[in-house]
Amino acid sequence: MLILGIDPGYGITGFGLIDAQRGVSRLLRCGAITTPAGAEFPARLEMIFNDMTQLLQMTKPDAVAIEELFFGHNVTTAIGVAQSRGVILLAVRQAGIPIFEYKPMQVKQAVVGYGNATKHQVMEMTKRLLHLEKSPKPDDAADAVAIALCHARSSTSLLAQLQRS
C-alpha cells in the first residue's frame, strides 16, 4: 500500500510517501511544497493546490494520511494552516483517493508508543522504523513521514481489520 503523509502548512507543506507491506514500511520519497512568503495568500493557496494535484498524479498513492489541525496559541497562523489544509483536502478528494486524518497525539502514539512524545523522539523512531541513516529533511517532511507511518500502523492493526470486515 502506498501511503502519502501530509503535514499541512501555507509556507511549507511536508509530504512523505511510504510503501507499507505486511508490517514493513520503506520510504520512497519525501520533501516539501513551499510558497514564497511575499506572495498574496490566495496565490499561495493556489500554488499549494496545484503542486498537491501534481504530486498526487506523480505518486498515485492508495491512501493519504493528513494531520488534523491543532490550535495552539497563534490563532492567525492556525487559520492560514486550516485554509491550506482545505485546498489539500480538495485536491485529494478530486483525485478520488481515500483520506485518513490523525491528531498529533495519535501520530506520536503510533510511531513512538507514547502520546506525549517529543518531536525529537518521533523523528528518531521514524528513522529507526524506516532504517534510515538520518531523519528526513526538512522537519515538515519528517512529520509527514511520521503521519504516513501512523496510518500504516493503524490501518494494519487487528482492530482496523475487524472494523473493515
Alpha-carbon span 73 to 23, nearest angstrom: 37
Question: Does the active-site annotation cover 19?
Answer: no
Tell me the per-residue pLDDT of 4-48, one tens digit each, with 9 for 90 and over. 999 999 999 999 999 999 889 999 999 999 999 999 999 999 999
DSSP string, 3-26: EEEEE--SSEEEEEEEEEETTEEE
Of the candidates 70, 61, 74, which has an alpha carbon nearest to the alpha carbon of residue 4?
Answer: 61
Mean pLDDT across the stretch 86-104? 97
Catalytic residue among 67, 101, 124, 143: 67
Task: Give the per-residue pLDDT at 156.
Answer: 64
Establish whether 67 is a catalytic residue: yes
d(CA 75, CA 71): 7
pLDDT at 71: 65
Specify the pLDDT at position 77: 78
Which three cell numbers, joined as nine digits, stand for 24?
514493513
- Range of lowest pLDDT (30-39, 107-116, 155-164): 155-164
- Indicate the pTM of the whole model: 0.91
**Confidence (pLDDT) at 157:** 55
Q: What is the structure's pLDDT at 69?
A: 82
Mean pLDDT of 89-112: 96
CB distance 56 to 95 below 8 Å: yes
Q: In the annotation, is 7 catalytic?
A: yes
From the CB of residue 14, how many other CB atoms can be counted at a distance below 10 Å? 27
pLDDT in tens, 39-86: 999 999 999 999 999 999 999 999 999 999 876 666 777 888 999 999
pLDDT at 161: 47
How many folded domains does the chain comprise?
A: 1
Q: Look up the domain containing 55 and give its range.
A: 2-164
- Helix %, strand %, coil % for the chain, to 5? 50, 20, 25
Q: The domain spanning residue 92 has which CATH number?
A: 3.30.420.10
Catalytic residue selected from 40, 62, 133, 140:
140
Active-site pick, 7, 46, 51, 124: 7
The number of helix segments (H) and strand segments (E) in the chain equals 6, 5
